[in-house]
Each structure stands twice: as structure tokens, then as C-alpha cells.
Structure 1
Amino acid sequence: MYDVVLLVEQELSAPDAKRVVELHQDMPESVTYHVLVPCHNAEAGVEASISALGTADLYGPGLASQRQDLAEAQKAIDTEAKGCSGRSVQRLRDLGQHAEGGISHDRPIDALIATVDHVQGQEVIILTRPHVVAEFFHLDWTNSARRHLGVPVLHLLEHDPEKASAS
């Protein structure tokens, strides 16, 4: 069994799923894909924003009254991320592949490292939209993964169906 961990920024499109599967079509052993979707923590994001603005003293106490709204927002975020993971897994399965998926509220690289360790992944594929500034300064997921993991890490840019249909 050859385990590939996929860290995806958004739902795996049908062309992207096909591209990923084609990378392993000549493998002598069966491949299992483990799709990981990072999920934003709504409350932590709001608190970090308030702290970054230096306004925690002014707005921090007001967060307590907003907990219910934040919980509802988090539920919606989690539901979307789970749907993204589920649809991505299904696209891989529709291509005859073994696949499973999940979401994580941890930092994406921490979640990736934990997943690779847990499934004993032999390869990582990171699918993102282009992030020119982060890539230039080597702060992107791919460079971080390469620094922390001892397995091959491939970075693919997501297929943009709008640009493809315009060509």
C-alpha cells in the first residue's frame, strides 16, 4: 500500500483529481489518498484580528456576548469544509481509487505532519491557488512541508475551470 496525503486549499476539482491519479497510474502497488482540508477557526481568527489591531482592551470583552454567533459561524465553516473533503474523496473514488478524508482546525502544516505520521504517508501533494508572495518568501505550505517532512512533496496549482473554458 502506497499512502499519499493531499493537502487541499479548496475542493478537489474533477480535472485535479484526474491529474493526481495520473501521477500514480503506473504504481505497482495500490494507492490510498488521504485528503486533508484545513478548516478556519472562526473564534481564533476574530481574536487574532482584534489582538493584531491592538484593540483587545476595547473589543475583547465584547467577544463573550458573540460566542453564540461565532459558534454558528464555526458550524457553517465546518460543514463547508466537511463537504469539500467529502466531495474531493468522492471524485477520487469515482476514478476507482481508495480515498478517505477529513478536516483539521490545526495549523495546516501541523495537521499535515500529523496526518503523514498517522497514515505513514510516503508522499505529499499540496494543491493550492497561486500564492506569489508566500512562495517568493518560502512561507507557503509546500516549502514548510519540505522543511518538516522526510517524504517527497509535490505542489500543484489548482485547475481553474473558468480560465480553461476561456482558452
Structure 2
Amino acid sequence: MAADSWTVVVLTEDALTSADVDHITSLHPDEEIVYRVLVPADTEHNVVASVLDHLGMLQLREAWDDLVGKEPTPEQASQTASEQVVTSVELLRATGAAASGEVTQDDPLPALQAAVAAGGDEIVVVTYPHAVEDTFHTDWASRAREELQVPVLHLYAGTSALGD
């Protein structure tokens, strides 16, 4: 890693897709970027918010699954997050970028704070739309903007749409 490289911390709730990586890497096309991917192990799922999110997007089966408690065990959540980190880092590295990643706790803000303290220059948050969190600005990107002194971009997964 060169001394003049820029570190972008990528917080994502799922494995990045090729479209996500294209959008993220296009933000600094002519700079040497180091990416640090963070994926929380979702062990404390907010059922009410998730049901509302799914209903708002007409995802009835997913809303039902949330209601009947088809949640992963902490071990399953950690394993899934680990796989998502590996997939995301591999996609970033396939572009020629330097990338590393790690699984965080349910609340990723402490890991974001540590990443910024360790030299993170900006944050890209990649999530699916969350009606409740996005509306009331309790989503990860809004919380990071309030607490950290670096630029924060919120992208919706698999699209070029920007979150609030």
C-alpha cells in the first residue's frame, strides 16, 4: 500500500454484486484505492422494521418469514457474513484493487469508528432500501454521517440508486 493511497471503508449488509463493485470503484477511477469491507453478522434482527420494509416493497413471503421467526442462529449469521466478506473482497480484487474485509458485530458503528481511526478516508454504505430506517434516518449511513467526520455515500445494493 502506497503512502498516498486512499482508504474507502465499505459497509454492506450483503455480498457486493458486480454492479455494486462497478459503482464503488468508479468513484475514484484514477486513484490508488484500498478497500476495507465490513459485513455485520445479523444476529439481532429488528422484526417490526423488517416486516414493514418487506411489505413496503410488496415482498409478502419475506414479511411472513420475518413474522414466523425464521432467523439464523448466531453461528449461521457469522458464517453467512464471512461468506459475504469473501465474495465482496474477491470482486474488488478482481478489478485490480487492494481489498480486505472482516465481519463486525450487529451494530457496525464501532467497527466503522475503528476503521476511520485506522486511516479510513471515506465510507460507502451498501444496503437494500429500508423504509423505516431510511425515513427516520436511523440507517447506518445516517448514523455514520452524524458520528464520523468523513464523507459517507449510501448506495442501494445492486442499483445505481443513492440512499438518503
SS in 2 for 1:23: coil
TM-aligned CA deviation for residue 158 of structure 1: 0.7
Partner residue, 1:5: 9
The answer to whether the aligner puts 1:136 opposite 2:140 as a matched pair is no
Q: Distance in 1 between matches of 2:81 and 2:131?
A: 24
After alignment, is 107-116 or 3-12 more displaced?
107-116
TM-score (norm 2): 0.74
List structure 1 segments (4+ residues) > 4 angstroms apart after TM superposition: none
Give the C-alpha shift of residue 106 in structure 1: 4.9
CA deviations on 1:67-115 (whole Å, 9 max, x unpaired) are xxxxx93222211111100110000001111000000125122221122
Distance 2:95 2:40 in 1: 24
Q: Which has the larger radius of gyration?
A: 1
Kindly, what percent of the aligned residue pairs are identical?
A: 36
Matching of residue 115 in structure 1 with residue 134 in structure 2: no
User: What is the total number of aligned residue pairs between the two structures?
Assistant: 131
Asked whether 1:24 is paired with 2:41, we answer: no
User: Which has the larger helix fraction?
Assistant: 1
Gaps of 5+ in 2: 48-71, 160-164
- Structure 1: state its 5+ residue gaps: 50-71, 161-167
Superposed displacement of residue 23, structure 1: 0.9
C-alpha RMSD of the superposition = 2.0
- 3-state DSSP class of the match of 2:87? helix
TM-score normalised by structure 1 residue count: 0.72
